[in-house]
Amino acid sequence: MILTNIESVPGKKIVEHYGLVSGSTVRAKHVGRDIMASLKNIVGGELKGYTELLEDAREQARERMTKQAEELGANAVINIRFNTSSIAQGASELYIYGTAVRVE
């Protein structure tokens, strides 16, 4: 599956457009991570636990989107957009969407 966040797949010709595909997940960080993060907050710097969590979540959302694209018979998703929004305290939604296409 080719993924791009531009209108085309460079070097390849898009033959068919199938329409919108998307995937999402809402992830919670667990209490252990929370405690570690609050300790880390004192000294600042990267909160590795949270970075990892969001990476994982994004990966899961992306997988879900590609599954939809596969069902449509696409071999590429173009114009991918990520949307991260904090929907409640300690919970973030990762949403990804793009257009499923078939390239030559």
Partner 1 sequence: MKIINKPLTKTADISSARGTAMKELRQLVLFTIVLLTVLYFSVGLLVDFIVSGISFESEASLFKNFKISKALPKDPGENKKLEKAKVILRILTSGDSVPPLPYNLILIKKKEPNAFAFPGGKIGLTTGLLDLLNDETEIAFVLGHELGHFSNRDHLKGLGRGVGFGLAVAVVFKPEYGAKSFGNMVNFVLQRTYSQDSEKKADHFGLELVYSKYGSIRGTDHLFKILQQNDKLPGWAYMFSTHPSPQKRILELQKFGKKIEKERTHKTTASPIKSTSSVSSIALHPLNGCKAKFVVTIRIHRCYQYNLDYDIDNPVIFRC
Partner 2 sequence: MEGLISLLINLVLPILLIVAALITGTIIEKRHYQSIDKREALLGNIVLLNGKEYPKDTPVANVQFVSGSVVISYDYFKRFLAGLRQIFGGEIKSYVSLLDRGRREAILRMKGKCPDADIIINLRLDTSSISKGRRKRGLGTVEVFAYGTALKFAGSPE
Contacts with partner 1 by CB under 8 A lie at 14-19, 21-25, 31, 34-35, 64-65, 67-68, 70-73, 89-90
Question: What string marks each residue from 28 to 67 as x (binds partner 2 by CB under 8 A) or -?
Answer: xxxxxx-------------------x------x-------
Q: Are 73 and 1 in contact (CB under 8 A)?
A: no
Extract the tokens encoding 25: 């997940």
- Rounded to the nearest whole angstrom, what is the least distance from the CB of residue 44 to partner 2 in the complex? 23
Q: Are 29 and 37 in contact (CB under 8 A)?
A: yes
- What pairs with residue 19 in β-bridges? 100
Q: Considering only 36-44, 68-76, 79-87, which stretch makes contact with partner 2 by CB under 8 A? A: 79-87
The item of partner 1, partner 2, none sharing an interface with residue 15, based on CB under 5 to 8 Å by kind, is partner 1
Residues 26, 89, 33, 31, Cα dihedral to 10°: -100
- Rounded to the nearest whole angstrom, what is the least distance from the CB of residue 87 to partner 2 in the complex? 5
Extract the tokens encoding 70: 């596969």
